[in-house]
Structure 1
Amino acid sequence: MQALIDVIIPVFLLVGFGYAASWGGLFKAEYVDGLMKFAQGFAIPCLLFSAIANLDLGQSFNWPILLSFYSGAFVCFALGLIGARVLFKRDWEDAVAIGFVALFSNSVLLGLPITERAFGSEALTGNYAIIAIHAPLNLSIGIIGMELAKAHGAPARDVARTIFTSTIKNSLIIGISLGFIVNLTGLTVPSVLQDAIDLMIRAALPAALFGLGGVLHRYKPEGDMTTVLYVVALSLVVHPVIVYSVGQLVDLSTFEMRSAIITAASAPGINAYLFANMYGRAKRVAATSVLLGTAANMGSIWVWLLILS
């Protein structure tokens, strides 16, 4: 339990610092918006670029673990979208944003360190297989779903053009795409440029988490708690249960099962809020789900570690 606290509590505290600064008037709403713009538009794309550029793609496409993890993720996206639309009467654009929260696990900030602390660094191969396509695949699904929801009966050609334009202009997708180009071509990033990128990377997650605290102060959970609890249940319970079931069918190894389950059971990631913020949809649901999901992870991950051990 101490290892889990060491990993999760600092994340929770950093969000709390942002909340307290905003609540106390020390960090105004326009500062929060600027910080999130920096994190979403510049720092996190640098993080994604560097991660993909330096990834060993040869060992990253392990179809059994990918099938297990992403079958659960896609089911949760569908359940989140349909539940938001049918159960909570949200419009289609809100429903896509809410479905995306259920889709996007915190594979890096929580999945990696918890797996390493619990099972050792040799257990991380499966985590890297998932992470290699996690952001580009999920963001593509989210962008396509949102643009379709916004189309409102527009001609298919116009919708396809809008989806393509929105995708190639998205800063997160740009960072990922450039990372794949560098990885696949073997290009070497000049050391001076890499040092600058590394400085941006160090700021990415702290800035995003601190800014998220300010967002939480603005978007209080009144009226949305039922939706938030529904999404958190999909993320922390339904997703890992599906992964465990499919993993049994495709005969995942012990290490692969551990990586897939811990990643699936991780709370909604910061990109879930960044996506909602990018489109201005269901931001309160996304922000609160990230916070409550992260807090609930101290209990839910502990249960899964007991099962997996």
Structure 2
Amino acid sequence: MLQILGITAPIFLIIGIGFVATRLQWISREQVTGMGRFVISFALPALVFKALVERPLDEVFERNYILAYAMASLLIFTLGFVISRRLRGDTLSGSALAAVGMSMSNSGFIGYPIAALVVGEAAAVGLAMGVLIENLLMLPLALALAEAGEHQGLGMRAAVISTARRLLSNPIIIAICLGLVVALLGLHVPAIPMRAVEMLAQSSAPVALFVIGGSLVGMRAGGMVADVLQISLGKLVLHPLAVMLCFVLLPVEDPALRVAGVLFACAPMMSIYPIVGQRFGLEGRCAAALVGATVLSFVTYSVFIGWFASAHL
């Protein structure tokens, strides 16, 4: 499992650098917040846009895979939302973020490298379909619910209008819409602006991880243990099990693609999870959950990969 450690170790290293830099006041908390805003406003939208336009949508479409993975993700999202909202009395925004933390993977930076080690080329196909599900379904759903939670004190009509305005002005939603239009119409993005998009996209992961480290400075674990356990176990255990179940209900012929889908679900949540939480004042909780899930994922990945190996899948 040294290969898994080789993938996750740089993540912890960058998080550690961000923590030390902020702890020693080489960089201020205000600067960390500004870096987070850069990721959510520019780098992440560029990453989403790039993911959607890299290949025509009709080139990668395995119906049962998309339906099964989306069904499993929605099932865990709903479960996480109900647990947070009904059983733990969390806010609407907090419940939405807990739900997406349990159901949306870091497919590009952790899921894909590990899946590629296990199943090879099938991992690229799974990544392409996963990007569609995550960016066209899971992230917009979470943002819509979280934004709605910010306007609960308003009347129903005013809340709907305010939420819609915030969503339509959200850089991530704008990037999703633009990327979808380009992909559906088969348009070609000129090389120079596409290169700029790629440069911004490449900065999203390291800057987001640095911000996570900075966000951990001064954070108190008290009151977060239950949140971290719920989100981490939901993401690392329930999500992959749900994907396995849905692949039984909606069979995917290629066994390598089935394994890839489960391994993508095994990944911890997206690296910009705390950056999304920052918008709603929940960056501390999200950062703690991300760090906890990333640490635990080494164990859960080892278990699932060992199971696949023993079952000869």
| Same-fold status (TM-score > 0.5) | yes
The amino acid across from 1:180 in the alignment is: L
Matches within 5 A, 1:173-212: 173-212=173-212
* Match in the other structure for 2:129: 129
* Match in the other structure for 1:109: 109
Mapped partners of 1:166, 1:63: distance in 2 = 32
Q: In structure 2, list runs of 5 or more residues that go unmatched.
A: none
- Deviation by residue 1:5-32 (Cα, 9 ceiling, x = unmatched): 1111111211111111111221210110
Identity rate, percent: 24
* Match in the other structure for 1:43: 43
RMSD: 1.9
Compute the displacement of 1:95 (Å): 1.9
Mapped partners of 2:272, 2:136: distance in 1 = 11
- Deviation by residue 1:23-79 (Cα, 9 ceiling, x = unmatched): 122121011011111111111111111111113311333231123222222222222
| TM-score, normalised by the number of residues in structure 2 | 0.91
Mapped partners of 2:5, 2:65: distance in 1 = 27
* Match in the other structure for 1:165: 165
Deviates more, 1:14-23 or 1:155-164: 155-164
- Asked whether the equivalents of residues 19 and 214 of structure 1 are also in contact (C-alpha less than 8 Å), the reply is yes
Mapped partners of 2:187, 2:242: distance in 1 = 39
Q: In structure 1, list runs of 5 or more residues that go unmatched.
A: none
* Match in the other structure for 2:290: 290
* Match in the other structure for 1:70: 70
What number of residue pairs does the alignment pair up? Answer: 308
Mapped partners of 2:148, 2:200: distance in 1 = 33
- Asked whether the equivalents of residues 59 and 129 of structure 1 are also in contact (C-alpha less than 8 Å), the reply is no
* Match in the other structure for 1:278: 279
Mapped partners of 1:87, 1:22: distance in 2 = 36
2:225 is aligned with 1:247: no
* Match in the other structure for 1:216: 216
2:288 is aligned with 1:257: no
- Alignment CA distance shift 1:155-1:208 (3 Å): same
Mapped partners of 1:120, 1:293: distance in 2 = 25
The amino acid across from 1:288 in the alignment is: A
The amino acid across from 2:277 in the alignment is: A
- Asked whether the equivalents of residues 104 and 272 of structure 1 are also in contact (C-alpha less than 8 Å), the reply is no
Mapped partners of 1:251, 1:196: distance in 2 = 40
- Asked whether the equivalents of residues 111 and 263 of structure 1 are also in contact (C-alpha less than 8 Å), the reply is yes
* Match in the other structure for 1:238: 238
Compute the displacement of 1:227 (Å): 1.6
- Asked whether the equivalents of residues 55 and 132 of structure 1 are also in contact (C-alpha less than 8 Å), the reply is no
Mapped partners of 1:148, 1:211: distance in 2 = 26
- Asked whether the equivalents of residues 105 and 266 of structure 1 are also in contact (C-alpha less than 8 Å), the reply is yes
Mapped partners of 2:222, 2:23: distance in 1 = 17
Mapped partners of 2:147, 2:194: distance in 1 = 34
- Asked whether the equivalents of residues 97 and 142 of structure 2 are also in contact (C-alpha less than 8 Å), the reply is yes
Compute the displacement of 1:158 (Å): 2.9
Secondary structure, aligned partner of 1:220: coil
Mapped partners of 1:139, 1:126: distance in 2 = 18
- Asked whether the equivalents of residues 98 and 285 of structure 1 are also in contact (C-alpha less than 8 Å), the reply is no
The amino acid across from 2:145 in the alignment is: G
* Match in the other structure for 2:150: 150
Compute the displacement of 1:153 (Å): 6.5
Mapped partners of 1:31, 1:116: distance in 2 = 36
- Asked whether the equivalents of residues 22 and 214 of structure 1 are also in contact (C-alpha less than 8 Å), the reply is yes
Secondary structure, aligned partner of 1:267: coil
Secondary structure, aligned partner of 2:246: helix
The amino acid across from 2:269 in the alignment is: P
Mapped partners of 1:187, 1:247: distance in 2 = 33
- Deviation by residue 1:84-110 (Cα, 9 ceiling, x = unmatched): 234433233322222222122111111
Deviates more, 1:219-228 or 1:144-153: 144-153
